[in-house]
Structure 1
Amino acid sequence: MSSLISPVTRALTISGALAAGSLAVAHAAPALSALNAVRPWLTPELCGYGDPDHIALTFDDGPDPASTPFFLRELDRAGVRATFFLLGRMLVRDPGLGRELVAAGHEIAVHGYEHRCLLLRTPGAVRDDIARALDTISDLTGTQPTWYRPPYGVLTAGTLAAARELELTPVLWSTWGRDWTAAATPDSVHRTVTRRLAGGGTVLLHDTDCTAAPGSWRSAFGALPRLIDTCRARGLRLGPLREHRTSPVGLAR
């Protein structure tokens, strides 16, 4: 009997390891969509593609009283509206600023409550974070968000399930400015965004440095007027995701 225990035990151990590995792969596989180089081919529905004559302008991580008002004034001056993906923990610090975004005609969306990589969190923790952010944003701004963008653009199977349950549509971006680094400048942000800029695309910028290099928001702010001019010179309209298509861009519910 003892001679059979060892092979059986080994087989069960191997099977368990394979099962655990399969679960880990299933959990993490959606995270590949965070890679700019592969997202258009792997998950084009997450790129935020919309009408070919329109660019969706989006900002992450705010609202921040130290920086967001600068963006609000510049967008108002240019007559442009955008989508702001808010962090719940930032909004509770200044609810009035969130309401100011809404009053100015901007669209509010969910970025989570905390800014943590979801690969390292359980499905339950992910669901709780998104739900807490959704409730906070809805309560403090009086709007019901439609869109969800995970921190770092990293999705998991649990994230997609939670978004579907909470009736949020995941959306990432088609081009970004890499405006969170200490080395970023207005010129580098504009150059990086426009390298992949095309009609129907979604632009990712940040209106705060709360999760980035101190002062890095100034690179995005400095690039904003030039980016608006570039889009208009190319005959492209700029606006929020809600104007990007007649129905949400994202995964089917």
Structure 2
Amino acid sequence: MRGPTRALALTAGGLALAHSLPALTSLGPVRPLLAPRLSGPGDPGHVALTFDDGPDPASTPLFLAELARTGTRATFFLLGRMLVRAPELGRELVAAGHEVAVHGWAHKPLLIRSPRQTRDDVARARDLVAEVTGREPRYYRPPYGVLSASALYAARENGLKPVLWTHWGQDWTARATPDSVMRTLTRAPLAGGTVLLHDSDVTSAPGAWRSALGALPRLLEHCAEQGLKVGPLGEHGLR
């Protein structure tokens, strides 16, 4: 390989590595070491309840009803392509006291997207959330929880703080059940944690949201028994 060609190849390789390096934080065991605050640890007496992939007219209202029954508020990470189809549901979330955040526009893997595509995706979704709901979103969660350097830059450019999760219910699979979601969520103590569930199956197995909905009252009851207050990220005392 000739000098200039080799130099270009090394430069391209270095840029690709820099672009993808933040994706290492998607690995649960690695994240506490590389970016301990990214998971969303907070007040040890509080649990942040978050939902991804809505708003979905087929399922989100059922989650809202369950949360209203218990007087619980949560953070909903919204997809732009879902919000643009159901803007009234986005406004309903805010009217019910919930917090709205940004999950991007199209839920496509960021590692295969260009920096410009990533910036457009984040900015477009952020602007829509603010316009439709009348609330300035504060948090960003990338699709699949996989960040890139471009996504970090786009989040900062749009005034958004990236937040992943400490606990997930693995509620997106066809095999998920309320029992399996609860077992997965409670493998580790929930105190001070950020919980991820899905209020839509738009990126999951058809009907997978039913496992999260079925587990939700049990999760809230479990937290109450542990003396833990459940609420949105904005009240979580993020470290």
Q: Give 1:92's aligned residue.
A: 84
Q: Give 1:28's aligned residue.
A: 20
In the alignment, which of 94, 97, 114 is matched to residue 122 of structure 1? 114
Question: Letter of the aligned partner of 2:35 in structure 1?
Answer: T
Deviation at 1:184, TM superposition (A): 0.3
Deviation at 1:13, TM superposition (A): 2.4
CA distance in 2, matches of 1:158, 1:49: 24
Q: Give 2:74's aligned residue.
A: 82
TM-score (structure 2 length as normaliser): 0.97
Please list, as runs of the form range in 1=range in 2, the aligned pairs for 1:75-224 lying within 5 A after superposition: 75-224=67-216
String of CA shifts for 1:152-206, please: whole Å, max 9, x gaps.
Answer: 0010001101111111100000010000000000000011011134311100000
Structure 1 unaligned blocks of 5 or more: 1-8
Percent identity, please: 65
Q: Give 2:65's aligned residue.
A: 73
Bigger shift: residues 204-213 or 31-40:
31-40
Question: Letter of the aligned partner of 1:59 in structure 2?
Answer: F
Q: Does the CA-based 8 Å contact 1:175-1:197 persist in structure 2?
A: no
CA distance in 1, matches of 2:233, 2:186: 18
Q: Give 1:12's aligned residue.
A: 4
State the secondary structure of the residue aligned to 1:112. Answer: coil
Q: Does the CA-based 8 Å contact 1:56-1:201 persist in structure 2?
A: yes
Bigger shift: residues 154-163 or 38-47:
38-47
CA distance in 1, matches of 2:105, 2:225: 37
CA distance in 2, matches of 1:116, 1:194: 29
CA distance in 2, matches of 1:51, 1:132: 32
State the secondary structure of the residue aligned to 2:103. Answer: strand
Question: Letter of the aligned partner of 2:217 in structure 1?
Answer: P
State the secondary structure of the residue aligned to 1:44. Answer: coil
Deviation at 1:36, TM superposition (A): 1.4
**What is the root-mean-square deviation in Å for CA atoms of aligned residues?**
1.0
CA distance in 1, matches of 2:19, 2:156: 16
State the secondary structure of the residue aligned to 1:213. Answer: coil
String of CA shifts for 1:58-107, please: whole Å, max 9, x gaps.
Answer: 00000001000110000011111000000011011111111110000000
State the secondary structure of the residue aligned to 2:43. Answer: coil
Aligned length: 239
State the secondary structure of the residue aligned to 1:45. Answer: coil
State the secondary structure of the residue aligned to 1:29. Answer: helix
Question: Letter of the aligned partner of 2:58 in structure 1?
Answer: A
Structure 2 unaligned blocks of 5 or more: none
Question: Letter of the aligned partner of 2:33 in structure 1?
Answer: W
Question: Letter of the aligned partner of 1:119 in structure 2?
Answer: L
CA distance in 2, matches of 1:186, 1:92: 30
